[in-house]
Structure 1
Amino acid sequence: MTMTKFLAAFLFTAALPLASCGAQTVGDSAATAASDAAERPFAVTAHGSFNEPWAAAFAPGTSVLFVTEKPGTMQFVDVSTGKRGTVSGLPTVDYGGQGGLGDVAFLPGESAATVGQRTIYLTWAKAGPGDTRGAALGKGTLVCDKPESCRIDGLKVIWEQKPKVTGRGHYSHRIAIAPNGQTMFVASGERQKGEPAQDPQSDLGKIVHLNLDGTPAAVNPLAEDNVARPEIWSLGHRNILGLQFDASGQLWDLEHGPAGGDELNRVVAGKNYGWPVVSNGDHYNGTPIPRHDTRPEFAAPAISWNPVIAPGDFIFYSGDLFPQWKGAAVIAAMKPAGLVVVQTEGDTAKEVARYPFDKRIREVVQGPDGAIWLLEDKAGGRLLELRPR
């Protein structure tokens, strides 16, 4: 088989079906206990492990899953065959704490791209002057011209958090490509600094809206009259570890609260989500924080959790294998470890099921045929495939 034919079959043509298997709601322990007792509607198959996996994305139109590893490495696996390979040309990351290599994203419109190459976006923790660092977003060209390896050519930083600060927490740096494929949204965590989330001239604690080249998109409402930096879409966020569009094109985020108060938010342009002024959790030292219902000028979460779920990423499920979840948010949870299923309606949401796992779940991805793929957190985290029983 020639290399061109190999690539066409392996990576960059449409994949064959896989052969292998307003108001807010507060989650409570009673609902959790009820769904814990339910039988799992899925069987789980493990497909090898990774070194601190953090994020994953299928190259559109293929069965090839690209997995970032927090220390600064990246692998891919063709889930239809099990073939694995490595990716070179990655950035130098500031690894430590919550920092390292972060998210990966592709343009949906490039599913029929030139054989062997396509645009790739990555985020990572990037060192700054002195003892500072911040999230960075890079754009490059993914070239796969060898059976067991790919490389990223021309990777260039197109956006980065401003200002860079000390510490190694709350980078967030999740990517969501807009449904029209013309712009993108990036989660910019408040880096455990709190107050900058309310500063419109800081990127920290914000969701930013960018053109595909990293410049500010033209429709950011807070940019008018220099109210805020031109890239800012919404503010008052803490640590966003999930950023997704639902089937209607509405943007949602999934955030870690402090001691309690993890939350799912419907993200609306120009809205302020209140951190650190309000939260449905408290500071780690026990100091109380005013609740969302005391400050109606801030956007309240659709649902929040006490006790926490320590969310990783999430998806809005759109496949046919799990019809009972169609349109629902399927959330990776790390504490307690499991999957949490949430139905949304307007500004509100309700937890409808929870399925415990033995190990923390960092990432959840929907496969081309509707199977659900999970990545366990930390060193040795396995790739898990979920299919109906």
Structure 2
Amino acid sequence: MSTFSTSSFAQASKLQTEVVARGLENPWGLAFIDNGRMLVTERPGRMRVVQADGKLGAPIAGLPKIDAGGQGGLLDVQADSEFARNRTVYFCYSEPAQRGSGNSTALASAKLSADATRLEQVKVLFSQKPKYSSDAHFGCRIVETKDGKLFLTLGDRYHRKADAQTLNNHHGKVVRINKDGSVPKDNPYVGKSDALPEIWSYGHRNSQGATLGPDGRLWTHEHGAQGGDEVNIPQAGKNYGWPVISWGQDYGGGKIGDGETEKAGMEQPAYYWTPSIAPSGMTFLRSDRYGKDWQGSLFVGALKFQYLARLEVQGGKVVKEEKLLQDLKQRIRDVREGPDGLLYLLTDHDDGQLIRLRPGA
């Protein structure tokens, strides 16, 4: 697909993987807090502190009820930018209906206790509507913006994919809220009687990666069906096409929606994969710890093909891809840049690992 410089390949060959922690059951999200410690979520419904030396803490108490199963459970976690002052964390999960059946993605805030053993003052900031009985396509990546807003990616719930094109529900959307759960006044659908005010963008399938770009814009990626995984830069009020247009096919073959890749009024991705790599986790590398060539690259984990993608970006488009860590042979669920400027990975297995990537000599 692309060509790469000799220096780029040399850097990749010198990467060293260091296992920081083992014994995590299907870890999903990673957040850095203080003194080299990290919060890690496990999809079955646990959150733990990982000490700087890799020691795993006991499950943190105080989580709300979680509908774990299939793709659902405790998913992403994010520490507030002022965590050192307010000890606030945000987490998203599959929330069961209070009455009857069904579930949906919810976003909550909480205070991590001083001894880091429990969550206090838990508050649900957002709950996806409507509830629906499914164990698939929850989305659920959290991004805090530089102006103190929260983005949350939401899946289309699989069988409700047509909902991604309508604005009276949260399926297949990116939403934007304030940290207290209220709706920002400049959201694109505020005051519209036929649209939910939390919606930022729509026409998404199942976004499991989100991060801020160097210029402060939101970047996401989403799973396609059989091909058509996309990287997008969601803008206010824009339609990203699912399930009307796609660069992939339906499972087993056959067209999706109109069977087209482009349509007026629908945005094109900044990059796409066919066949699908099943992307999860996403971060821009801001440090120069791996050399200047990699600074500013976008990194994406691949679950299906078990590698780490390094994407070179120019002018809002991905121009090159390099496949890293293919010998690791592990499903990469999340990738983050740590306070030390190094990349950290979570592997999605029953005995999952937290891995630190070190530049080689």
User: Residue 262 in 1 paired to residue 229 in 2?
Assistant: yes
CA distance in 1, matches of 2:67, 2:77: 17
Q: Does 1:212 align with 2:179?
A: yes
Pick one of 260, 269, 272 that aligns with 1:304.
272
Instruction: Report whether the alignment pairs 1:85 with 2:51.
Output: no
Q: Secondary structure at the match of 1:121?
A: strand
2:345 pairs with 374, 377, 384, which one? 374
Alignment of 1:194-233 (within 5 A): 194-233=161-200
1:313 aligns to what? Answer: 281
Point out the more displaced range, 160-169 or 117-126: 117-126
Native 8 Å contact 2:300 2:308 kept in 1: yes
Q: In the TM superposition, what is the alpha-carbon distance from 1:43 to its structure 2 partner? A: 0.3
**Deviation by residue 1:98-144 (Cα, 9 ceiling, x = unmatched):** 00001111211333x1xxx6111111101114331101111111113
- Secondary structure of residue in 1 paired with 2:69: coil
The answer to whether the aligner puts 1:331 opposite 2:331 as a matched pair is no
Q: Which amino acid aligns with 1:134?
A: S
Counterpart mapping for 1:102-181 below 5 A? 102-111=75-84, 113=85, 118-128=87-97, 129-145=99-115, 149-180=116-147
Give yes or no for contact 1:292–1:298 (8 Å, CA) kept in 2. Answer: no
Q: If each structure's strand is expressed as a fraction of its own residues, which one has the higher value?
A: 1
How many residue pairs get aligned? The number is 350
- Over 3 Å counting, the alpha-carbon distance change for 1:160 and 1:225 in structure 2 is closer
Deviations 1:18-71 (A, max 9, x none): xxxxxxxxxx4x769x99998523101112320110111101x54111000011
Change in 2 beyond 3 A, CA 1:36/1:190: farther
Match of 1:16 in 2: none
Matches of 1:217 and 1:377 in 2, distance apart?
35
Greater shift in the superposed pair: 375-384 or 345-354: 345-354
SS at match of 1:294: coil
The match for 1:387 is 358
Gapped regions of structure 2 (runs ≥ 5): none
Q: Give the aligned partner of residue 26 of structure 2.
A: 52
The answer to whether the Cα contact below 8 Å between 1:52 and 1:378 also exists between their aligned partners in 2 is yes
**Deviation by residue 1:285-317 (Cα, 9 ceiling, x = unmatched):** 312134664313201100000111111111011
**Residue by residue, what CA displacement relative to the aligned partner does 1:242-295 show, whole Å, maximum 9, x if unpaired?**
111111101111100000000100111110000000110111031213466431
In the TM superposition, what are the counterparts of 1:227-246 in structure 2 within 5 Å? 227-246=194-213
Distance 2:228 2:189 in 1: 26
TM-score by length of 2: 0.92
- Mapped partners of 1:343, 1:314: distance in 2: 13
Residues 164, 173 of structure 2: 8 Å contact kept: yes
Provide the TM-score with structure 1 as the length reference. 0.85
Partners of 1:63 and 1:367 within 8 A in 2: no
For 2:199 and 2:284, locate their aligned partners in 1 and report how far apart those are by CA, in whole Å: 24
8 A Cα contact 2:262 2:268, kept in partner: no
Identity percentage over the alignment?
Answer: 36
Question: What is the match of residue 76 of structure 1?
Answer: 49
Per chain length, whose mean CA-contact separation is higher, i.e. which structure has more relative contact order (CA < 8 Å, sep 6+)?
Answer: 1
Give structure 1 regions of 4+ aligned residues with deviation exceeding 4 angstroms.
34-39, 290-293
**Is the 8 Å Cα contact of residues 194 and 276 (structure 1) preserved in structure 2?**
yes
Distance 1:37 1:318 in 2: 20
Matched residue, 1:359? 330
SS at match of 1:217: coil
Range with bigger deviation, 298-307 or 117-126:
117-126
**In angstroms, what is the RMSD of aligned CA positions?**
2.0
